Chain A
Amino acid sequence: MSEMHTLHVFCLFDEQFVLVQALLCSSSNLNLTVTAILLKMYLNLPFLSQFFLLTVVVKAVSDLCLHKMGGNLYQRIQQECERHISAKLQSLVGQSLDLVVFLSMVEKCWQDFCDQMLMIRGIALYLDRTHVKQTPNVRSLWDMGLQLFRKHLSLSPEVERKIVTGLLELIERERLGEAIDRTVLGHLLKMFTALGTYAETFEKPFLERTSDFYASEGLKYIQQWDVSDYLKHVEMRLCEEHERCTLYLDANTRKPLVTTTEKQLLERHTSTILDKGFTMLMDLKRVDDLKRLYTLFARNRPAELIAKFLDEKLRAGNKGTSEEELEGTLDRVLVLFRFIQGKDVFEAFYKKDLAKRLLLGKSASIDAEKSMISKLKAECGSQFTNKLEGMFKDIELSKEINDSFKQSSQARTKLPSGIEMSVHVLTTGYWPTYPPMDVRLPHELNVYQDIFKEFYLSKYSGRRLMWQNSLGHCVLKAEFPRGKKELAVSLFQTVVLMLFNDAQKLSYQDIKDSTSIEDKELRRTLQSLACGKVRVLQKIPKGREVEDEDSFLFNDEFAAPLYRIKVNAIQMKETVEENTSTTERVFQDRQYQVDAAIVRIMKTRKVLSHTLLITELFQQLKFPIKPVDLKKRIESLIDREYLERDKNNPQIYNYLA
């Protein structure tokens, strides 16, 4: 009890003077002597009396706030909290005790801090509601406490390091089969989450440690054990890591953790597992082991991988492969394709990659592309390839549009000189959807866009043109002191580089303000220009990551053997976000397809039992799906009043027109 109360009690003693003053001038009838005695007696009082006194102090706080002394009080509380937190964290320095003991000390320190801050907040609620709310840039008492804790923790790096090392060590012990105190672990990880440092301080080293751990474990066991035992072990490990995320890790860690584990235990040993075990398991008809093998490998998303493999083959720069060889590869891929479930996933990734190849001019051969499409058509029917063929049509049509634009009177009279532009006009629906990305274009490009738009709309009235900035690419003529170059760059890179026509040095913020490019995209763009292989800009200070305080300089020293230089590889590379959104879209699409199928069936049948509806759905739907997912969609349709459950027989659904 006394430990719980120390903090706010000494807070109050320090505030005595202020409090007493306030109490005197407030309308309260308490006087100085009474207050002082009350405060001094406070510590020795039983709980109920403390509670009584609490109301007096709460009143004092509100009086202070009413007399505009809230700011003063806030500062005093902050000072006291800081002194206390700093002392508490300092007391942890040099505690070279046993790791488990150390962690529980930290846990105690954190729990006390939370209790005390909550109590202070309770007492000074009025302060939070008035002074804090009315004053800009002042944190609530709770946030102020967190910020102080964060500050003083980072001021004792030894303590922080020991906590993290301790946590990692504990988890490793658990992986090695030891029982550990998960509660302490959970509390300390929640502490990092509350302080907002979880990802940076804990998650990053944790994933690295995990990767190392499973790398060596994988190497050891794959040699020592037979494939069947190894696979069982992998299955168990994945299950354990899953459980770890529900027990004490932050939920966001699940995805990267599982990926890391899969990578080290499965991906790295794929060929060994197949060479060593597949034929043996097949010969011995070990169905259970084969099933395990299949499920484990299926976790690595075969549909997506096949699409990526094709992208690699069909992309330009794939030298040394003859037309026949390529054709042979495509045929073999198609055999594999026949066996994958979830062809919609394949389609989504194939389409996304095809779009990039076509739009960025990176396709190795249009003939090979078309050959692949016709193979897919023969395999899955024209419905599957409709949109893919539409993409090719758009590209051809765009060529004609560009030609007639160049000959149009608008183009001949109004276009700014020194720029040449070609436009791909894409039909929404054929192509993948791209998130709209803002960018402030240089004046010349804006003029060009407007003239093209005017021309296009005069030819095809009633259409709507939307510019997809993230797909644009340009060739820039650059004069470096050491020679003239042509740079193949993305539109975003162009917009950034053109700023350096008028400036030698720009800060990150300057560039952000002038281009309006979204933060993450801008960092990627600057990284590609100043931290990659081709450095046309210099970053100050040097380093891999782009920080808010960085500045950028035009690189006077730039030299390269070739005249034409490609800097826009970043456009071809798939980002994590892109991958996630493609996958999510496939699943979203599946939901729509299920909904549509249910409505279609019910529209013709009007009345149908649950069992028959499920059976029909399994016949109609082309992707793997669980009965529970179908139930979910049925329930959603009931909710949206497309269907109703029959009043007399709950196993029957009625269609609602």
Chain B
Amino acid sequence: MMRRSSGRKSDQLVTGSAAVNSTAGGSDLLRSASSKTVSKEIERIDQLFYTYFDRSSSLIGPEGIEAFCSDLDVEHTDVRILMLAWRMNAERQGYFTLEEWRRGLKALRADNLGKLKKALPELEKEVLRPQNFQDFYAYSFRYCLTEEKQKSIDIDVACELLNLVLGFKFRPQVDSLVEYLKKQHEYKVVNMDQWMAILRFCNEINFPLLDNYDADLAWPILLDCFVEWMRGEQP
């Protein structure tokens, strides 16, 4: 019983990913055919890369990204571009390397603009899955660290980023937070710890009631102050 069932499982595996796993002699033909399609796919992905890349740096730079976005009919400030960067795991803001480009487009199974356009809603869904969103949220912060050894982002940048990555999920929280961040003078930058606490805050705290917020817990002072401000603002 056990053997048979495990045998079936491995069978399924082989068929499921024949292109990579098949080692049986008879599937040589299959392999070369599928590796041909794979290499064709990579070729097309690469081709797309070379339409936007900058010759001197061999990267897609800010101008390339802008052209790419306009071909996609998406603003370059659109959150979907940030999602795409997350999928590629792009390291540097405003730049895509060939490796990152391949990683992202392959995962989306898109080797031309049309397919990519169609893949975007799927990507959105993927990012919004609870297990992915926190990772995406943390990534968006790191993506804004453009200088060497930079560990925090300016309040203005943080506000824009909050609007972009949390705005559609937690509109009232983001509006109040942005208003507070802009009027306070205590903080000029936001660090990763505070950034992650904001997401936690949105997920856990009843808003705008704030009745389950406890400043004696380990919330960063930034949020203690925000809550205090909120409570003072309310009649």
Contacts and interface: CB of A to CB of B under 8 A. Distances in A.
Contacts of B218: 610, 631, 634, 645, 650-651, 653
A650 B200 contact: yes
Interface string A613-657: 010000000000001100110110011000001000011010000
Interface in B181-226: 191, 193, 196-197, 200, 216-218, 220-221, 224
A611 interface: yes
B151 interface: yes
A498 B220 CA distance: 60
A627 B221 CA distance: 10
Contacts of B217: 610-611, 651
B221 A632 contact: yes
Contact of B216 (A611, A632, A639): A611
Contacts of B193: 635, 638-639, 645
A84 to B, nearest CB: 36
A628 B221 CA distance: 7
Contacts of B200: 650
Contacts of B224: 628, 631
A176 B217 CA distance: 44
Nearest to A631: B221
B150 to A, nearest CB: 13
Contacts of B221: 628, 631-632, 635
Nearest to A640: B151
Size class of the contact patch on chain B: 10 to 19
Contacts of A638: 193
B201 to A, nearest CB: 10
Interface residues of A, number: 15
B197 A650 contact: yes
A654 to B, nearest CB: 12
Contacts of A610: 217-218
Nearest to A653: B218
Contacts of A635: 193, 220-221
Nearest to A627: B216
Given A645-B218, A651-B218, A639 B197 contact: no
A639 B151 CA distance: 8
A229 B147 CA distance: 59
Contacts of A611: 216-217
A611 B215 CA distance: 11
A638 to B, nearest CB: 5
A653 B191 CA distance: 17
Contacts of A628: 221, 224
A653 B224 CA distance: 18
Contacts of A632: 221
Interface string B20-43: 000000000000000000000000
A635 B222 CA distance: 10
Contacts of A631: 218, 220-221, 224
A614 B216 CA distance: 9
Nearest to B218: A610
Nearest to A632: B221
A634 to B, nearest CB: 8
A612 to B, nearest CB: 11
A289 B200 CA distance: 43
A115 B221 CA distance: 40
Contacts of A651: 217-218
B97 to A, nearest CB: 28
Nearest to A646: B218
A651 B204 CA distance: 13
Contacts of A650: 196-197, 200, 218
B222 to A, nearest CB: 9
A627 to B, nearest CB: 7
Nearest to B204: A650
A651 to B, nearest CB: 5
B205 to A, nearest CB: 13
Nearest to B225: A628
Interface string B94-114: 000000000000000000000
A610 B191 CA distance: 19
Nearest to B191: A639
Contacts of A614: 216
Interface string A508-535: 0000000000000000000000000000
A614 B218 CA distance: 10
Contacts of A645: 193, 196, 218
A627 B151 CA distance: 26
A651 B164 CA distance: 27
A632 B194 CA distance: 12
Nearest to A639: B191
A638 B192 CA distance: 10
Contacts of A653: 218
Interface in A574-614: 610-611, 614
Contacts of B191: 639
Nearest to A649: B218
A634 B191 CA distance: 14
A610 B197 CA distance: 14
A618 to B, nearest CB: 12
A632 B196 CA distance: 17
A614 B193 CA distance: 19
Interface of A: 610-611, 614, 627-628, 631-632, 634-635, 638-639, 645, 650-651, 653
Nearest 5 A/B pairs, CB to CB: A610-B218, A651-B218, A631-B221, A638-B193, A635-B220
5 contacts: A610-B218, A635-B193, A635-B221, A650-B200, A650-B218
Given A614-B216, A627-B216, 20 more contacts: A611-B217, A628-B221, A631-B218, A631-B221, A631-B224, A634-B218, A635-B193, A635-B220, A638-B193, A639-B151, A639-B191, A645-B193, A645-B196, A645-B218, A650-B196, A650-B197, A650-B200, A651-B217, A651-B218, A653-B218
